[in-house]
Structure 1
Amino acid sequence: MGRENNVLHRRSDYLKIIAMVTMAMDHIAFYFLPYSSTSYIIMRMIGRIAFPIFAYFIAMGYKDTSDLNRYILRMGIFALAAQIPFYFFVHKVFYLNVMFTFTLALIMLKLFDKKNYLWFALIFLADFLKMDYGAYGLIIILIFHVFSEEKIKIYVYLLILTFVYSSLNVMQYGAFSIRLYTQVLCVMALPLIYRDFPALRINKYISYLFYPVHIGIIVLIGNLIR
């Protein structure tokens, strides 16, 4: 058991860095680059790796935590702190950052395991409250929770979910969106998630702080150069 926990920590620490770097690339492209540019498309394609990795962390963190309520509270506090720079990043008042999505996901998993069917309502709530990744994000986290190490099922369900999500996106906007082609690349995260990396340890709060801090830096640089 101790060896398995050690492997999980090694995997997680490398994955945290990969997730943070690819997320930063995605956000830099979103904020600075022209929508139709090649650089924008490539960086956002690479950025598709980030969310499934973070979703995996949430599902595994839920299983491993010794105090779920404290975990939920901590995620919620960071979500509130991140909302200020996030507003200046997206310029939308009624649009909540992804840490709210993660907070709601933890509550959803708790209800799911207790067989309280209110968990299903939370999936719709994520879209109603306009959380980043919304229902799509919550379902990805649920897939990791339910199927855990069943890699083939995770691949299949993630592909199906992403195809449905992308198709709905196309229907909503009445035209083919770049998301139809890029979001499916989120499956590239799965070989990384299930790979064992060499040992590397970082403070657990770095990934919490990185989200609001890097968004704040992007916004600050944007204001300085524009």
Structure 2
Amino acid sequence: MKPSVGVWPCLNRDAIKAIAMATMLLNHIANALLSPENPWFEPLVDIGYFTAVTMCYFLVEGYGYTHDRKAYALRLLVFALIAQIPYQLALGFFQLNMLFTLLVCFGIVHVWVSWGADKGPQKALAVLGLVFASLFMDWAILAPVFTLMFASWRYGDIPACGTRSGLARLFVGDALIFFFLNLQEEWTAQAMLQAAASSLGILAAGAVILLFYNGKRAEHGRTFWKWFFYLFYPAHLAVLAAVKLLAL
């Protein structure tokens, strides 16, 4: 199935993923170097929420394009291992980093796509097990759920599959899930405003993909972009960890 092409298709997937890397960097700068009392902390953190849902979307799309799925999964695992210590030093989060989460998400897509209807119960249990395995990882539960929603949209057989309107509903659904999760049962005006602001990154990701994605990779430098996205994750965390340690 071909991806939905945006209304004004001027950005390829590598350009959108580069935007996602930039927004992630802003989020990590806030978490690593700023205090929650800093006026820039919340805006930078919220901008960074553009990234996770974008990477889940392109992981689902990439599963259908890759020629070697074992190599894809192995790359995620290797760079997840490389990034783990910088991740903990930079951000202080004692959990597995986002590349481990994406590896779990890749497994969810594989089970969803490759296991037939005759394995319905086993398929459901395997997906559920992978979702709960993410409890010890960054974007626990959320990223796997987003991935499963995108996989259902892209590889399913319901009428809305593959349509722009169907994808738009998924991004709105993702944003609503994130909104209610961030409320944390505190229904004050301030809490609702903050939860709404935190959901804007997800809506922005959906808007960029729905309006501007041309459904293609970059025409030039494909090898560069392929490895850049893997290398950028541990590299920027290592730099932030070094800056954080030097500032102590």
TM-score range, shorter chain: 0.7 to 0.9
Equivalent in the alignment of 2:41 = 40
User: 1-side partners of 2:18 and 2:185: how far apart?
Assistant: 35
Does residue 136 (structure 1) correspond to residue 142 (structure 2)? The answer is yes
- Over the matched positions of the two proteins, sequence identity in percent amounts to 25
For residues 96 and 179 of structure 1, do their structure 2 counterparts lie closer, same or farther at Cα, with a shift above 3 Å needed? farther
Equivalent in the alignment of 1:215 = 237
- Among 165, 170, 174, the residue aligned to 1:158: 174
User: 2-side partners of 1:177 and 1:213: how far apart?
Assistant: 35
| 1:136 Cα deviation from its structure 2 partner | 0.6
| 1:164 Cα deviation from its structure 2 partner | 3.8
Equivalent in the alignment of 1:188 = 204
User: 2-side partners of 1:164 and 1:50: how far apart?
Assistant: 19
Equivalent in the alignment of 2:108 = 108
| 1:76 Cα deviation from its structure 2 partner | 0.8
| 1:210 Cα deviation from its structure 2 partner | 0.3
Equivalent in the alignment of 1:99 = 99
Structure 1 SS opposite 2:96: coil
User: 2-side partners of 1:87 and 1:178: how far apart?
Assistant: 30
Structure 2 SS opposite 1:49: helix
Matches within 5 A, 1:36-115: 36-93=37-94, 95-113=95-113, 114=115, 115=120
| 1:156 Cα deviation from its structure 2 partner | 3.1
Tell me which amino acid in the other structure corresponds to 2:47. I
- Shifted more, 209-218 versus 10-19: the winner is 10-19
User: 2-side partners of 1:75 and 1:132: how far apart?
Assistant: 14
For the 8 Å contact 2:87–2:238, the answer to whether it is kept is yes
For residues 108 and 9 of structure 1, do their structure 2 counterparts lie closer, same or farther at Cα, with a shift above 3 Å needed? farther
User: 2-side partners of 1:44 and 1:34: how far apart?
Assistant: 11
Query: Computing the radius of gyration over CA atoms, which structure comes out larger, 1 or 2?
Result: 2
**Higher relative contact order (CA closer than 8 Å, sequence separation 6+):** 2
RMSD between aligned residues: 3.0
TM-score, normalised with respect to structure 1: 0.84
TM-score, normalised with respect to structure 2: 0.77
- Shifted more, 78-87 versus 180-189: the winner is 180-189
| 1:165 Cα deviation from its structure 2 partner | 2.6
For residues 92 and 25 of structure 1, do their structure 2 counterparts lie closer, same or farther at Cα, with a shift above 3 Å needed? closer
User: 2-side partners of 1:119 and 1:196: how far apart?
Assistant: 29
Equivalent in the alignment of 2:23 = 22
User: 2-side partners of 1:171 and 1:88: how far apart?
Assistant: 31
Question: Structure 1: any 5+ residue segments left out of the alignment?
Answer: none
For residues 132 and 177 of structure 1, do their structure 2 counterparts lie closer, same or farther at Cα, with a shift above 3 Å needed? farther
| 1:177 Cα deviation from its structure 2 partner | 9.0
